[in-house]
Structure 1
Amino acid sequence: MPDSLPGWTDRLPPRPLAYARLARLDRPAGSWLLFWPCGWGLALAGGLVADGLLLLWFAAGSLAMRAAGCVWNDIVDRDLDAQVARTRSRPVASGVISVRAALVFAVALSLIGLAVLLQLRPLAQMVALGSIALVAAYPFMKRITWWPQAWLGLTFNWGALVGYAAISAPDAPMALLYAGGVAWTLGYDTIYALQDIEDDAIAGIKSSARALGPAARRGVAGFYALALLLWGAALWLVRPDPLVLAALLPLAAHLGWQVWRLSDAGPANALMLFRTNRSAGLLMFAACAVVGLA
């Protein structure tokens, strides 16, 4: 399975194309997965009415910071990427873009993130800055733990804390929303890691897919079940009404469908299922919006 997918970026000249691929603009699923937790936090805290414009700022920030994170990841992982069939053609690993040029690009993308940060109230700004250490450390996790997907969950769902803190004071629903997102990421990124399980074993790269082995499907089911439980608790604490839990039923059906389809663990199917989590994030956003607007 190639690391770059066909799309509009293929029409770019060679140099801009290399930077677009470095930023993963040809693979937008990751930007959606970073954006949706921001939307959840904003919606659950009632921010769609109080400050709905923040949703657009979060969208811009998610696109820029996901790109910056990918650049940093490729700089750190350039030697490992060169050993994996799917990633050896990445611009830094292949030498198309130098490490210095990639660092300059990452700084430029981070300045966009700074512009978004300045739109937030001080509490949310402080919360957002707390993610820097998580982002910086993530590329090293696959070297030291079998569960780098858990670290990715801590990182990718930080936006739920930022979105919530942009409107309301931190409380138990915010913490449960974030924890559910971590469990969700453990599930979908385990699916993603199934693409590279053989090459990762050769290169010595650790992952939850390798740790779980034949039990990967059951593991994903368990992670998704835990996510739904935590999210249900978050929604219930905001509005203790049995009908609130019904808002999670479309999401539960979607995640159950993913687990059912995972009987085929081939790379193409794994990538397809991973990408459908954009829809899962949207369904969770809808549930949070229903509760937050009630």
Structure 2
Amino acid sequence: MSVTDRPVWLGRPKPVAVALKALALLLISGVVVFPFLVVVSTSLATKAQIDANGGYVLWPTSISFDAYRQIFDGTQVSRSVVISVGITVAGTAFSLFCTVLAAYGLSRRGSLFQRGLLTFVLLTLLFGPGMIPVYLMVKQLGMLNTYWALIIPGAVSAFNIVIIRGFIQGIPQELFDAARMDGAGEWRILWSIVLPLSKAVIAVVGLFLAVGYWNNYFGPLLYLNDSQMWPLQLVMRSFVLENTITTTATQLPGHVTPPAQSIQMALVVIATVPILCVYPFLTKHMSKGMLTGAIKG
């Protein structure tokens, strides 16, 4: 094939096209970075700077950590962060365990009730149970006002099962046959072959699950009656609506309370940073996990 016969996408881009792509990338990056910069800057700004800039600061001239001190000094935010981390870690681990087991069983032809169970799982993608039946189930199981109510009802998702099942089906059958000839059982095959080869899709699904557990606020609002058990997202919602945070700290003489805008933005930063810290370690698995799990060929 000559140079002139090559497809358009294989040719060298023109300088104008490169410049337009760079400009578009800069605009998109600005749209993404600008709001986050405003959030961080406002959380670090003083009351005088916020008043002078109409409530939000793009770049603070002097940095103040009063909002963060106010949040973590005897308030329920410190406890809610620990609760959110615990729920996210425990929920993600439990969900991945159940999802991987279900996906592996449904990917093996001839397993017990494989076709019927697969049909039942796929039907849940079309027909959801609804809020009231789930609440009644949680109540009947005695999980109200417990953290189990935030983990168990949404532990298994049919979408995640389908993604991981498709990935496992892409593993060469010869590997399973060779392992069985060497005397390996199903648990050994799952642990030694399937899990190491499925790191990409497990990382992707794990990220989806972690973000879902971390950002969940409606579940705690529905199932938790004790405010001392609230996770971070529900504490943030309470502050945004009522502009108050439960505190046990003593107000010191001469202490200046940070403005509400700084505390709100500081809460947003605290809720966003953990996911931002985890996401870069999983980005290399994102495209491979999604494409391999969703496309068969």
Instruction: Report the TM-score when normalising by structure 1.
Output: 0.24
Structure holding more helix per residue: 1
The structure showing larger relative contact order (alpha-carbon pairs under 8 Å, at least 6 residues apart) is 2
Instruction: Report the TM-score when normalising by structure 2.
Output: 0.24
